[in-house]
Structure 1
Amino acid sequence: MRLMELTPKQQTVDLIRSAKRIVVVSHQNPDGDAIGSTLALTLALRKLGKDVQALCADPVPPTFRFLPAIDQLSSQLAGGGASDFVITINTGAVKVDKLGYKNYPEQQKLNIVIKTASGELAPEMVSFSKSGGAGADLIIVLDTNDVERMGSLYKDHAQLFYQTPIVNIDHHPGNGYFGKVNWVDLGATSTAEILVSLLESLGSTPRPPALSAGNPDAGKTQSLLDADIATLLLTGITTDTGSFQNTNTTPKSFTVAAQLVAAGARQQEIVQHIYKTKPLSTLKLWGKILSSIREDRESRFIWSKVSSSDFAAFGASETETSGVVDELLKTVPNIDFALLLSEKQDALYGSLRGVNPKVSVADVAGLFGGGGHEMAAAFRLTSGSLADNETEIIEKIRRFQAGQRTEQPNQPLSSMPTMPESGLQPSPAPSGGRFALPT
């Protein structure tokens, strides 16, 4: 049976079985699904005797530091420094006669000398790249709809991603299908939910001989789910469903969650750390966000903002806005959605959460080059500050909502007090950029 006749799941299982060295990577600004999925798959593959690296370009938010094997998630590709530096010359019609080099140690210089038999070489014919390095047989990209969302890991090792087969496992609309195998399940609540099915199939793989020596069960299949892996996967499902409160929650997600709890997932530990524990810096930052809430009663949305100076003032990390939209902002009644604008070091981020299922926040994020799900989406602007972009962002959303009102009747907003509009100055339209999906 040819590869293209197999399902994405079957193709993924076959590629994993044949690979020895595997890199598992997820998106920058990682959330619970990205972290939980990456570590769960890493631990499971190691049970199969694979040499696995777990990677994410950005640090783990403090909220998730309780997770098992969290210190095994790295931002650096091991062996990356051992790659070959490749000089490529597009010779065209030029015929090369001899190739040599002259080394000048005192000057710390190396000259590469090319003698041509006919024609002449020019600088524009020369390009440079790296190859080798990590020496991976397979790269598995999780919860990532675009290769650029892997951040510096992709930018610094583009050649590795180009040369190595990629399995792309995701649940987000708008996935770029950039892998050799693309397992994209839009009906799944999370990437973690998809991985439960993958681990079931991989669990039918016989134990590797190296792990079976002296074992009476040698050659028999093994269950890959244990308490740690189940906890990691349940974290991914729990966070991406908003603790099973979001509209993307399905009967299957409850069934899978029950399966994970039966396998030993520590559900109360997840709830305690993610939903019931907040550092003082987080509470202060959230207080600032709540005090900055504004509303547009006619356009049926609320928004708030947090500047880079706010993070510094409260000693908060840029990840500490995670949860404030889901847990607080979107609880306001009679709105279509809530927006949080976060000014971080690299860009301005917009995080959207839907309240009215008739309005897709993915469409709202699309106004600014972003995307996501109907009820959870985001965008990222790399040009201009919060002050530069806020007014234009809000005006674009108002125009979008005005179009929505032609399709559905108005409903009055709650009696929430109107926030002042002072301080907003007209600004140039923001430029688009790659978007980070909701955290």
Structure 2
Amino acid sequence: MKKKWNILFIWATLMLNGISADAHNAKYYMYIPNKQNVPVGVTVPTALGFVFILKSDKHPDFATAINRYYPTAFEQAFPNAVTDWLRDVYQIECDSIYMESDGLYSDNQKKNKYSMPFDRMITSRFKKIVPLITKLGTPRIPEDPTEIEGFYFPLLNETNRWNNLKERHEEGKWTYIYQLEGDTLIDGRKYRKLYHTVDKQAKNWHKRGYLYEDIGQKKVWYRPAWGDRDGLLYNFDVAEKDTFYTMGRIFYSLETPNTVDWNYDSIRHIVKKVDTVKISHKDHRRITLESTLITPLGSYHRSFENVWIEGIGSTNGLFSLYVYLPGSPSEELLAFYQDDKLIYQSPKYDNVFIWETVGNKLIRNDTQVFVLPDGRTLHIGDEGTNRSVRVYSMHGTEVFRQTVAPYTTTLALPAIPSGVYIITVRSEGKSISQKIVVK
């Protein structure tokens, strides 16, 4: 899946060539996610000869701080890496400790003079620029960067693919495939574009939204394709007994009638356990959560078990869907691929793609229509086209009509009496009609 880098061989070669003769000389990996923050190595003439230094027009203080440690080399560590974030890892060779000039001290004072380890200086002063740094050579040089102690497996990699199984007992089961394809800049941040399809041949993709990951914070944010705001989707930087909140799904907007919005802090998580699970011969951090859905105004609460695996996501599906009640729509991670190789498969199923719908025709392959358990919210799929929604009484009288914007998944029903109605959804010349029960 990934190319192996024999760091031990490289380090031994440098030692034999005398590059690391200084007892304080060391080698580091530095993760610098933003290209504009990367300094440039140059050789400049001085009275003592040519000297290698780092320069940065955007962050001169960053370059100056590094130059105090007398760097001798700075370069991209893995320029041909398949895993995209590794291409933002840089290798620097410099003194591991910065000490003030020996001339300022007598022989008896030198042992007490001020010093600052390079990695501590970087993480304390320039954490936003260099969120991750690791020193190589002690106590063990890993063959693969993913074996470094405390290594974080990023969730967003351009070759990742998630097969999510959605199920509703009276409707059946169907599989959504999610995939990252390209990136875009939004407010100065680089977001991954997220697409989905229900095609077993992985064709007919529709844009779902955008994902942004901060590897230093170990967090992932999501922005819907039609949205103008991010919501926290994952936070892997947690410990047992921690409590935190993430975004839920679309809810009916209480502020603006006949519109929908995301409830950005609608799922509360309590960390019950943190351990590891071996996947593809590597230990991935696993977080077991007690997650609780909180609807607007706190009118509805329901807890469910949630398991997150670092580098893969939630076993409840990429979007970590909550479950309303037994028999209501649920979601599960069916399979996870990287570089077209199967990395994870749900132990509950033998297949990686399931499509078993019953009793309901589809406008397109990904449209399902049903009423949520609250009896007043209508699920109408999440197609990327406008749809016309009409509700009729059993006598044929139209009681509600609305055009729904692309990617809208739910719609609040109007204040109509409880009872049985007929709903018709039209899109792209096709339609679906069925009975619904309004409570």
TM-score over 0.5 for the alignment?
A: no
Mark the structure with the bigger radius of gyration. Answer: 2
Relative contact order, higher structure (CA 8 A, sep 6+): 1
Given the two structures, how large is their TM-score scaled by the length of structure 1?
A: 0.26
Higher strand share: 2
Structure with more helix by fraction: 1
TM-score w.r.t. length of structure 2: 0.26
